[in-house]
Amino acid sequence: MISDITIILLLYKTPSKLIKNFEVFKKFKVVVLDQSNDKNFKKKLTKILPNIKNYSITNQNNGYAKGINTLVKKVQTKYFFCTQADVNINKNSILELKKTIIRHKKNAIIAVPLLNKKKPNKLVKEIEVSRMIGATFFCEKKKFMKIGMFDENFFFYWEDIDLSRRIQKSNFKIYETQKSKAVHQNGNSSLSGYRTDLIRNKNFIFGELLYDYKGGKVKTIKILRKFAQNIFLLILNLVLLKFRSSNINLAKILGIIEFIIFIFKKYL
């Protein structure tokens, strides 16, 4: 049941306390990419996961979309399960995802487990949904590649919503199943700090604008409004000595500028 499933793990400054969440994957094939060059975490993880087929570490953070695509290309099995350090899931839930894919083999590309911090949402057996959650999903490698994988122009944030939109426009569908349950503690898979705040917020607003642009909905007035709003809040928070808040405003300004440069490059 598990021989044709590979677990893919993309890590970045992963807190050591979360390593226990990976123990469930002991009998699975695993591929890992750590984009924070954490050699100590590698030593710890290889001790509890004996079936790691590939473990790459790099000090260059290429983002979530590109990192996941890189890992998927290394998968040698029919299916893969993508998850994060702050997700708790058991073996049976993973196998239920596989069963869901098999039941809808003609058009299912991704089966998504239910994610809730306290209780699973009420769900009648199995339903088709419009969106997947990029933090954790199960898929057949060939179909994931056929749909085009994640758009690597997204660093992280919005890449799963973008993929969901492309799936909706294709012959594939996304399903949730009641029998597969997971708990996701959002935002806890990486250590926090000013630099992390900067990276997250810059790429969130860039991703939001890129998503709107790809959907033909981005408007100049929205870009200008967001830019002016964050300039004002940056100055205000500096005056009030709210340095972490001002750092977030700076991140959003940089994200907007990065998007504008991205658009100019496309037309040059």
pLDDT in tens, 214-227: 998 888 898 999 99
How many Å apart are CA 68 and CA 186, to the nearest integer?
Answer: 18
The count of other CB atoms within 10 Å of the CB of residue 226 is 18
Listed as ranges, residues in the chain with pLDDT below 50 are none
How many Å apart are CA 103 and CA 101, to the nearest integer?
Answer: 6
pLDDT in tens, 79-121: 999 999 989 899 999 999 999 999 988 888 888 876 655 555 5
Residue 256 near residue 230, CB atoms below 8 Å: yes
pLDDT value, residue 187: 56
Q: Give the global pTM.
A: 0.87
The phi, psi pair for 82, rounded to 5°, reads: -95, 130
Write down the residue that tokens 């500028």 correspond to. Answer: 257
Mean pLDDT of the chain: 89
Going by C-beta distance under 8 Å and a sequence separation of 6 or more, which residues neighbour residue 241? Answer: none
